[in-house]
Amino acid sequence: MFVLDSHCDTPSQILRLRDISIDNDYAQVDIPKLKRGGVDGVFFALYIPSSMDTDPDAARAYAYRMLDGVRNSLDNNPDAVITTSVQQALENQSKGLLSIFIGLENGAAIGDSLDELQRFYAAGVRYVTLCHTGNNQICDSCAQKSGRWNGLSPFGKEVIAEMNRLGMLIDVSHISDAAFYDVINLSTKPVVATHSCCRALADHPRNLTDDMIRKIAAGGGVVQVNFYPVFIDDRFQHILNDSGIMEKGEMIESEFIADPANPLKRSAWNAVQDELNALERPSYKRIVDHIDHIVRLVGIDYVGLGSDFDGIEVTPDGMEDISRFSRVLDEMRARGYSESDIEKVASGNFFRVMLACQ
């Protein structure tokens, strides 16, 4: 069985001076934890903050800086390699190697140029999350109260066609509902939600409605369930709001990001993480509730796992980092899923979409 996590924001943490070759305190992902968690492959997302949505040159430079950071980190880690295909990943597994795929989170980095999209593909990027929390030149975000394009922009429609041509996965996580339906109507290939949950179980705009899930499945795509407690359980949003930690924590995290070599700023951010982890958090078993919902809705062939580790400030209880990833699969076993079904969720469904998009 090949175990895949389709979305981790580890490149951002590498820029914050994380050495992924060692077992780090306060790290959700590093190579020792990947190995302990039985994870064979992971998509490292090159996350572009929405503050760069109107500055494509800065966004592009930042993306390539992260990509260089990943490459440099792997130069010192012979057990993990940049991977661009399903075949390569399976070959890596047979050799005992970890597969590191690359995704681009927020298409702002391509500016208004399909040539730049092609360059990212040539550099190894295999999916693009079309936007993040802001409306960009491609589409509107689910995080905005009003849309700029009421879905995809005219350029965004060109992006969809070019991604189909290249064999690049279109990621609908983060995009607005209107943009989602535009993608579904325009894409000639299956689409993915690399890190999204079910709105029926947690009423958050980042999550997918039942109709959206059906539309993804009807096109042969896949929904990769996110681990963020706010997205898996409505109650945690209230707990988080009542704690007041986020208001304080955002400033402390920003100061750490700006100066990650400063031990005092790192310690201050770690203290916030301790406070967050001390909150009453939903169990990791709630992740499997979302899997169950998707399976009941459309079947076992359209669901997988995309944790969002290293991009979330707090995790479910019992899923503090990627070393515990196998607990999700064990919980599926406890609920009566067959090994063949678990293999589909672990990677088979996502790999099927990758192959269909080639």
- What average pLDDT does range 22-46 have in this prediction? 97
Query: pLDDT digits over 318-351, tens only?
Result: 999 999 999 999 999 999 999 999 999 999 999 9
- What average pLDDT does range 124-138 have in this prediction? 98
315 vs 273: CA distance, rounded Å: 10
pLDDT on residue 1? 97
Share of the chain above pLDDT 90, in %: 98
pLDDT, averaged across the chain: 97
| Whether residue 171 is found in the same domain as residue 266 | no
DSSP label at 146? Answer: S
161 vs 138: CA distance, rounded Å: 12
pLDDT on residue 235? 96
Lowest mean pLDDT among 75-79, 86-90, 102-106, 288-292: 75-79
Instruction: Give the amino acid at 47.
Output: Y
| Whether residue 251 is found in the same domain as residue 145 | no
| Whether residue 167 is found in the same domain as residue 316 | yes
Cβ atoms of 8 and 305 closer than 8 Å: no
Query: pLDDT digits over 193-250, tens only?
Result: 999 999 999 999 999 999 999 999 999 999 999 999 999 999 999 999 999 998 888 9
Q: How far is CA 7 from CA 114, 230, 248, 288, in A?
A: 24, 17, 27, 17
pLDDT on residue 355? 98
Q: Which residue has the tokens 């996590």?
A: 5
11 vs 82: CA distance, rounded Å: 13
In this predicted structure, the answer to whether residue 79 has a pLDDT above a threshold of 90 is: yes
| Whether residue 58 is found in the same domain as residue 161 | yes
pLDDT on residue 192? 98
Residue where a domain terminates, one of 220, 250, 281: 281
| Whether residue 160 is found in the same domain as residue 181 | yes
Question: What tokens were used for 214?
Answer: 């059906």
Helix intervals (H) in the chain: 10-15, 31-36, 56-75, 86-94, 114-122, 154-166, 177-186, 210-218, 229-232, 234-243, 245-258, 263-277, 285-298, 326-334, 339-343, 349-357
Residue where a domain terminates, one of 222, 252, 281: 281
| Whether residue 256 is found in the same domain as residue 315 | no
Q: How many domains does the chain have?
A: 2
pLDDT on residue 86? 98
- Three-state SS at 76: coil
Task: Return the H-helix or E-strand segment holding 224.
Answer: strand 222-225
38 vs 32: CA distance, rounded Å: 10
| Whether residue 312 is found in the same domain as residue 207 | yes
In this predicted structure, the answer to whether residue 76 has a pLDDT above a threshold of 90 is: no
User: Domain of 297: which CATH number?
Assistant: 3.20.20.140
| CB neighbour list of residue 82: distance below 8 Å, 6 or more residues apart | 70, 71, 74, 100, 101, 102, 124
DSSP label at 133? Answer: S
- What average pLDDT does range 278-289 have in this prediction? 98
Containing domain of residue 43, as a range? 4-233+283-357
Band (pLDDT 50/70/90 cuts) for residue 23 is very high
- What average pLDDT does range 129-154 have in this prediction? 97
Maximal C-alpha separation, the chain:
51
Query: pLDDT digits over 149-186, tens only?
Result: 999 999 999 999 999 999 999 999 999 999 999 999 99
- What average pLDDT does range 288-307 have in this prediction? 98
Q: Write phi, then psi, for 48 (nearest 5 degrees).
A: -105, 115
350 vs 161: CA distance, rounded Å: 21
Cβ atoms of 11 and 45 closer than 8 Å: yes
- What average pLDDT does range 96-116 have in this prediction? 97
pLDDT on residue 77? 87
* pTM, full prediction: 0.97
| Whether residue 128 is found in the same domain as residue 181 | yes
| Whether residue 206 is found in the same domain as residue 157 | yes
- What average pLDDT does range 104-112 have in this prediction? 97
Question: What tokens were used for 344?
Answer: 């589909």
Question: What tokens were used for 2?
Answer: 């090949």
| Whether residue 248 is found in the same domain as residue 298 | no
Cβ atoms of 322 and 307 closer than 8 Å: yes
